[in-house]
Amino acid sequence: MGFVPKVKVGSSYVTSKILPHIQGVDDAEPGIKNIEIEGTRGDGSLIIPGGRESQDIIIDGIILASDSSLPDGTAYSNPNGTNYEKIMEQIDWLRINVPTTETHLYVEKTSSTYDDYVVRRIGKIIFPKNLRRNIQEYTITFRRM
22: phi then psi, degrees, rounded to nearest 5: -70, 130
Paired sense of beta strands 103-108 and 7-10, if any: antiparallel
Q: Rg (Cα) of the chain, in Å, rounded?
A: 20
The 10 Å CB-count burial string (b at 16+, else e) for 121-130 is: beeeeebeee
CA distance 100 to 90: 18
Q: Is the pTM of this model over 0.95?
A: no
The pLDDT assigned to 79 comes to 85
Domain ranges of the chain: 7-26+53-144
| Rounded mean pLDDT for each run of 10 residues along the chain, 145 residues in total | 83 91 82 78 79 86 90 87 90 93 92 90 89 89 89
CA distance 65 to 81: 10
